[in-house]
Amino acid sequence: MTKFQFLFIGTSLSFIPLTVNAQCVATQDCATLGYTETSCNGGKGVKCPFGNKWACFNTDTCEANGFKFSCVGSGFVSGIGDSCGNKYKKCTCSTDYLWDDTKGCITDPCAGYITCEYGCRGDDVCGNKCKVCLSKICDKVYTGCTCIQYGSNGTGYKAVCYYQQGGRQYSTTIITTTYLGECQRYASSAERQETNCRYE
């Protein structure tokens, strides 16, 4: 074989196309796919379709981020805001229960006690709440005042206030004047005025 023939053959071989057959085969190895657990707590996970391994939901991550209350049971009404693994950071509590950041909804130690405007009657108190409230009793409470024109020629004015006492309504004059503006000021300032009040 001459050098020319060898060169020609070598050149020809360089034009033979190279065919590569590549096939993509999905793995069926559970561990490779992320299924590494033999079981999940409470069945909270997904079973590998190719074996007996499981991929478990990481409920610990939810609790580490503050999602630790299921908001069900005595004293609980519902969850508040977002949830993670069916748990919440905070819950709505029913009547006579109050929220505790550590325990959730707990029995309100002051259930049955109320906030009183004038203080407590007796020593049965819980925090700033009372079992029985004091009542405010006044001898006279003006329920309304008005200016009335009087005199033979209608040049005078009197501020008349009304009040209830013993189940009956009374009226009293608190000022007489010749000036309507003055009468109106007195009537306005006397509105809801109370006298001889006590708390029982």
C-alpha to C-alpha distance for 41 and 55, rounded to whole angstroms: 11
Beta strands in the chain (DSSP E): 45-47, 54-56, 76-84, 87-93, 97-100, 104-107, 125-126, 129-130, 136-150, 156-165, 168-177, 194-199
* Per-residue model confidence (pLDDT) at position 77: 95
Could you report the per-residue pLDDT of 92-109, keeping only the tens digit for each?
999 999 999 999 999 999
59 pLDDT band, cuts 50/70/90, is low
Q: What average pLDDT does this structure show over 2-19?
A: 43
Domain boundaries, the chain: 28-57, 66-107, 138-199
Evaluate if residue 8 carries a pLDDT over 70: no
Rounded to whole angstroms, the Cα distance separating 193 from 113 reads: 30
Using a 10 angstrom Cβ sphere, with 0-12 exposed, 13-18 middle and 19 or more buried, the burial of residue 116 is middle
pLDDT per residue as tens digits for the range 115-129: 999 899 999 999 889
Residue 89 has pLDDT above 90, yes or no: yes
What pLDDT sits at residue 60? 65
